[in-house]
Structure 1
C-alpha cells in the first residue's frame, strides 16, 4: 500500500512540478536531472500522510523517481507521449491535481470569525433545543389494518407485542415499535403533527397516513432537549461551515464560467 501511494505521489509531483532547474540534484539519469527539492517535496507529502521521515524513505523516493525517469525516457523514445490516450491521461491528472491544490489553498486561507461561528451555533442550538419525544409506532399498508390495530389496543392489546407482530417498519418493529428520543423535525410532517398532539401514554385513535403507509402512534414520554455546548462541537461545526463556503465558492466559479 505504501509503495503504491509513494509511486502515485512521485508521479503527481513530476507532472505538476516538471523538472525545474535546482542547485542540487538527487540524481542525474541519462543527462536528465532529478532535483533534491523534488525529493524533499515528496518526503513532506509522505509525512502529511503519517509516514515518519527517515534516510530509508528518502532513498526509496529517490529510487522511485529514478525508475520513473528511466521508464519515461523509454516511453518518449517509443513516441508514446504523443498518443491521444496518454495526452488525455496527463491532462486529466493535471486538472485533478490543480483542482485539489485550489481546494487546499481555499481551506488553508478561509478564516471564520467568532461571530460567524456563534451565529451558526445559535441556529443549531435552536433546532436541537425544545422538546424531544419518545414515541413508538406500528406501520401498516392499509387503513383497515390500522383501524383493526386501534380496536385491538382498545380491547387491552399490548402496543409492543402488536408492533413486533404486525409493523412493516423493519427498524422499529423488533423493538416493539420504539423510535427512541427524537426531535419532531426528524419525522415527516403528518407523523410529527399527530405525535405532538398526544399526551404521555396516549395513542392515536385514528390512523395517521403518510408516504410510508398508515401509522398508529404511541407517545411514551417527552423531555426538554439540551443542545451541546459550543466548545463541544466547535471543530465539527467549523469544518462544516468551511465545507459550505467551499461549495458556495465552487458554485460561483461554475456560474461565472463561460461554457459553450
Structure 2
C-alpha cells in the first residue's frame, strides 16, 4: 500500500513539473535556458529582417546553448566580477531598458488624426508658392555670357548654345534644361534673377554666382501641388512622435535634480 502511494506522489510531482520544464529549451550543466530568451532573440532577428521559421528557431536554440556554455566558463574564471565588465553590462542593461521606455512612450502617445491633419495643413501652407521651369547657360566669364546673349537675341538657339558652351554638366547636355523646381532651391543670386523674369523672358545681362556667369530663361511657372495626406502620413506621424518624445525627455530633465 505504501509503495503504491509513493509511486502516485512521484507521478503527481512529475506531472506538476512538466509545464515548468516545457518553458525551458535546454538545461546546460543544471542551468535552464528559458524559452522566453529564445522568443526575445527570435523577435530581434525578425525585426532585423530575418524570417521566423523552424530553422531559425533551431539555430537560435543552438546559439543560446553555446552562449550558456561560454557564460558558465566566463563565470568560472570570474570575468563577470571584473569592474570593466560590470560597467559595460550596466551600460548594456541601461540601453535595453531605455529602448523599452521609448517604445512604451511612443506606443501610448500616438498622434491623433486631428494632430496629423493639422500638421499637414501647416506644411501645405508653408510650402505654398510656385515652381519654375528654367533653362540656363553657365560660362566662366562675363564677356562670353554677354556674347551668347547677343547671339540668342539675334536668333541663335538657346538650347544649341547651351549644349555647346554651358559648363553645367547636368543641364548642358539637355540644352540647359533645369526642369521644374522651387527657385529657393538655387543660390540666392540665381533665384532672385529668375523670379524677376516673365514667362518666355531671358535675362538681359549675365547673372554672377559662385559657379560662374549665367544666362537664365524662364519657360513657365505653376503652383506647387502638395502630395496627398495619405502619401506623407507616415512621415508626419514620425515627426510628431519625435517631437513628443523630445518634449517628454526635456520635461523629465527640467524636473530632475542634478548636482
TM range (shorter): 0.7 to 0.9
Distance 1:160 1:84 in 2: 72
Name 2:110's counterpart in structure 1.
111
Distance 2:46 2:62 in 1: 18
| TM-score of the two chains, using structure 2 as the length reference | 0.75
Ranges in structure 1 where 5+ consecutive residues have no aligned partner: 1-21
Listed one character per residue, the Cα deviations across residues 167-198 of structure 1 (whole Å, up to 9, x for unaligned) are 23222222222111112232233222211221
| TM-score of the two chains, using structure 1 as the length reference | 0.75
Name 2:70's counterpart in structure 1.
71
Alpha-carbon RMSD across the aligned residues, in angstroms, is: 3.1
Listed one character per residue, the Cα deviations across residues 13-62 of structure 1 (whole Å, up to 9, x for unaligned) are xxxxxxxxx94432222232211222233333344445444444333222
Name 1:5's counterpart in structure 2.
none
Shift of the 71–137 alpha-carbon distance from structure 1 to 2, 3 Å rule, reads same
Query: Which structure has the larger Rg?
Result: 2
Listed one character per residue, the Cα deviations across residues 75-100 of structure 1 (whole Å, up to 9, x for unaligned) are 23334445566455545533443443
Name 2:173's counterpart in structure 1.
174
Structure 1 residue 247, shift from structure 2 partner: 5.0
Aligned residues: 239
Listed one character per residue, the Cα deviations across residues 88-141 of structure 1 (whole Å, up to 9, x for unaligned) are 554553344344334333332222133322222123222444322100112234
Structure 1 residue 68, shift from structure 2 partner: 0.4
Name 1:40's counterpart in structure 2.
39
User: Contact 1:208–1:216 (CA<8 Å) still a contact in 2?
Assistant: yes
Distance 2:206 2:223 in 1: 27
Shift of the 259–168 alpha-carbon distance from structure 1 to 2, 3 Å rule, reads farther
Ranges in structure 2 where 5+ consecutive residues have no aligned partner: 1-18
Moved more, 103-112 or 200-209: 103-112
User: Contact 1:201–1:218 (CA<8 Å) still a contact in 2?
Assistant: yes
Name 2:139's counterpart in structure 1.
140
